[in-house]
Structure 1
Amino acid sequence: MEFALSNLPLSLLEAINPDVSLRGQASADLSLQGASQNPEGRFELRLSEVRQQQERELGRLPELAGRITASLQDRQLRLEGDISGFAEEPLNLRGNLPVQLSLSPFAFEVPETAPLDAELTWSGNIENVVGLFPVDSIRLTGNGEVDITLGGTLGEPDLGGRIELSNAVYENFVSGTLLQPLNLMIEGRQDRLEITELQASDGGDGEFTGQGSIQFREGEELISDISLEFSNMGFVHRDDVTAHLSGNLSLQGDLLGRSEVSGEIRNESIEIRLVNELPPSVSELNNVIILGQDDGDEESQDEDANEEDDTTADSGPVMALNIEINLPRRVFVRGRGLDSEWAGQFSVKGTASSPQVTGSLEPQRGSFSIAGKSFQLQEGSVSLPPGNDLNPVLDLSAAAQAGDIQAIIRVTGSASEPRIDLTSNPTLPEDEVLSRVLFDKNSSRLSPGEALMLANTAATLTSGGPGITDIARNLLGADVVSFTPSEEEDEGLGSVTIGRYLAEGVYVGVEQGTQAGSTELDVELDVTDNIKVNSQTGTDGGSQVGIRWQWDY
Structure 2
Amino acid sequence: MSPARWAATASRSRRRRRCGRRPGPTPRRHRPPVPPASRCRPPARAGSAGATPWVLARDVELAADLAPGGAPREARVAPGSIALLGATLRWSEAAWQAAPREGAPSRLRLAAKLDPLAVAPWLQRAQPDAGWRGDLRLAGHVDIRRAERFDADIVLERESGDLSVVRGNLPLAFGLTGLRLALSAHDGQWEAAQAIVGSQIGVVAGAQTLRTAATAAWPEAQTPIQGVVEMRIPDVDVWSAWLPAGWRMGGSLFTTAQVGGTVGAPQLGGRIEGSQLALGNLLQGVDLTEGSLLLTLRGEDLRLERLRFKGGDGTLAVDGSARLGASPSAELTLVAERFEALSRVDRRIAVSGRATVALREQALAVDGKFAVDRGRIDISQSEAPSLDSDVVVENRPLRPGEQRAPAPAANGPEPTPLMKSSRVALELALGNDLRLKGRGIDTGLTGTLRVSTPEGRLAINGGVRTVNGRYAAYGQNLFIERGLIRFSGEVAAPRLDILAVRQDLDVRVGVTVQGSTTDPRVRLYSEPDMSEMDKLSWLVTGRASEGLGRADTAILQQAALALLAGESGGPSTGLLQRLGLDELSVSQSGEGDARDTVVSVGKQLSDRLFVGYERGVNATAGSWQLIYRVARRFTVRAQTGDESALDVIWTWRWN
**TM-score scaled to structure 2, two decimals?**
0.56
- Which among 463, 486, 497 is matched to residue 361 of structure 1? 463
Which residue of 194, 206, 210 corresponds with 1:93?
A: 206
Map of 1:170-189 to 2, 5 A cutoff? 170-189=279-298
Which residue of structure 1 aligns with residue 256 of structure 2? 147
Question: Match for residue 209 of structure 1?
Answer: 317
Contact map agreement 2:476 2:540 (CA 8 A) in 1: no
- Please say if 1:68 is aligned against 2:181: yes
State the alpha-carbon separation in 2 of the partners of residues 133 and 245 from structure 1: 27
SS at match of 2:567: helix
Does residue 324 (structure 1) correspond to residue 437 (structure 2)? The answer is: no
- Name the structure 2 match of 1:462: 567
Match of 1:551 in 2: none
Alignment of 1:77-88 (within 5 A): 77-83=190-196, 87-88=200-201
Corresponding position of 2:357: 251
Q: 38, 50, 53: which one pairs with 2:149?
A: 38
Cα deviation 1:110-147 (Å, max 9, x = unaligned):
434x34113132321121222333331x3321122222
Q: Tell me the number of residue pairs that the alignment of Structure 1 and Structure 2 aligns.
A: 466
Q: Where does residue 373 of structure 2 map in the other structure?
A: 269
Q: Which secondary structure state, in structure 1, belongs to the residue aligned with residue 237 of structure 2?
A: helix
The 1:3/1:428 distance shift into structure 2, 3 A limit, reads farther
The structure richer in strand per residue is 1
Residue of structure 2 equivalent to 1:542 = none
User: Where does 1:69-468 land on structure 2 (aligned, <5 Å)?
Assistant: 69-83=182-196, 87-100=200-213, 102=215, 108-112=219-223, 114-136=224-246, 138-151=247-260, 153=262, 159-204=268-313, 206-217=314-325, 220-239=326-345, 241-254=347-360, 257-269=361-373, 271=375, 273=377, 275=379, 277-278=380-381, 281-282=384-385, 320-327=422-429, 329-330=431-432, 332-335=434-437, 336-349=440-453, 355-363=457-465, 365-368=467-470, 375-378=479-482, 380-381=484-485, 383=487, 395-400=496-501, 406-410=509-513, 421=522, 423-425=524-526, 426=529, 433=536, 435-436=538-539, 438-442=541-545, 445=550, 452-457=557-562, 460=565, 462-463=567-568, 465=570
Deviation at 1:343, TM superposition (A): 1.3
Letter in 2 for 1:234: E
Aligned equivalents of 2:303, 2:510: Cα separation in 1:
62
In 2, Cα distance between equivalents of 1:59 and 1:320? 44
**Secondary structure of the structure 2 residue equivalent to 1:193:** strand
Distance 1:274 1:384 in 2: 25
Distance 1:489 1:67, change over 3 A: farther
User: Residues 455 and 418 (structure 1 numbering): CA distance in 2 closer, same or farther, change over 3 Å?
Assistant: farther
Counterparts of 1:90 and 1:420, CA distance in 2: 63
AA aligned to 2:498 is S
Q: Which secondary structure does the structure 1 equivalent of 2:432 belong to?
A: strand
Q: Compute the TM-score of the two structures, normalised by the length of structure 1.
A: 0.65
- Residue of structure 2 equivalent to 1:538: none
Tell me how far apart the structure 1 counterparts of residues 538 and 211 of structure 2 sit (CA, whole Å): 89
Cα deviation for residue 186 of structure 1 reads: 1.0
Counterpart residue identity of residue 337, structure 2: S
How far off is 1:355 after superposition?
Answer: 4.9
Corresponding position of 2:617:
514
Q: Which residue of 1 aligns with 2:629?
A: none
Task: After TM superposition, give the deviation of residue 224 of structure 1 in Å.
Answer: 1.7
CA distance in structure 2 between the aligned counterparts of 1:393 and 1:272, rounded to whole angstroms = 21
The 3-state SS of whatever aligns with 2:202 is coil
Structure 1 residues 191 and 111: alpha-carbon distance in aligned structure 2, compared to 1, 3 A threshold: same
Question: Cα 1:467–1:67, aligned 2, differ >3 Å: closer, same or farther?
Answer: closer
> What SS does structure 1 have at the residue aligned with 2:561?
helix
Pick closer, same or farther for the CA change 1:488–1:102 going to 2, 3 Å. Answer: farther
Q: Which residue of 1 aligns with 2:59?
A: none
Residues 482 and 246 (structure 1), Cα distance of their counterparts in 2 relative to 1, 3 Å cut: closer
DSSP-derived class of the 1:130 partner = helix
Cα deviation for residue 346 of structure 1 reads 1.4
Find the structure with the greater CA-based Rg.
Answer: 2
For residues 149 and 301 of structure 2, what CA distance do their matches in structure 1 show? 35
Taking only aligned residues, the RMSD between alpha carbons, in angstroms, comes to 5.4
Take 1:296 and 1:59, find their aligned partners in 2: how far apart are those partners?
43
- Name the CA shift for 1:396/1:315 in 2 (closer, same or farther; >3 Å): closer
Higher RCO by CA contacts (8 Å cutoff, separation 6 or greater): 1
Distance of aligned partners of 1:489 and 1:446 in 2 relative to their CA distance in 1, 3 Å threshold: farther
Q: After superposing the two structures, state which structure 1 stretch, 126-135 or 342-351, moved more.
A: 342-351
1-structure distance, mates of 2:287, 2:488: 23
Per-residue CA deviations over 1:489-525 (Å, capped at 9, x if unaligned) read: 765642499xxxxxxxxxxxxx996328789xxxxxx
- For residues 327 and 143 of structure 1, what CA distance do their matches in structure 2 show? 36
Please state how far the C-alpha of 1:228 moved relative to its aligned partner.
1.8
Give the partner amino acid of 2:561: N
Give the aligned residue type for 1:242: R
Structure 1 residues 480 and 331: CA distance shift in structure 2, 3 A? closer
Given the superposition, is the C-alpha separation of residues 121 and 26 from structure 1 closer, same or farther in structure 2, using an over 3 Å criterion? same
Identity of aligned residues (%): 12
* Residues 180 and 133 (structure 1), Cα distance of their counterparts in 2 relative to 1, 3 Å cut: closer
CA contact (8 A) 1:99 1:111 kept: no
CA distance in 2, matches of 1:207, 1:232: 7
Q: CA deviation at 1:166?
A: 0.9
The aligned counterpart of 1:544 is: none
Q: Report how far residue 247 of structure 1 moved.
A: 2.5
CA 1:436–1:317 in structure 2 vs 1: closer, same or farther (change >3 Å)? closer
What is the CA distance between 1:356 and its match in structure 2?
A: 0.7
1:495-534 alignment, distance < 5 Å = 495=599, 514-515=617-618
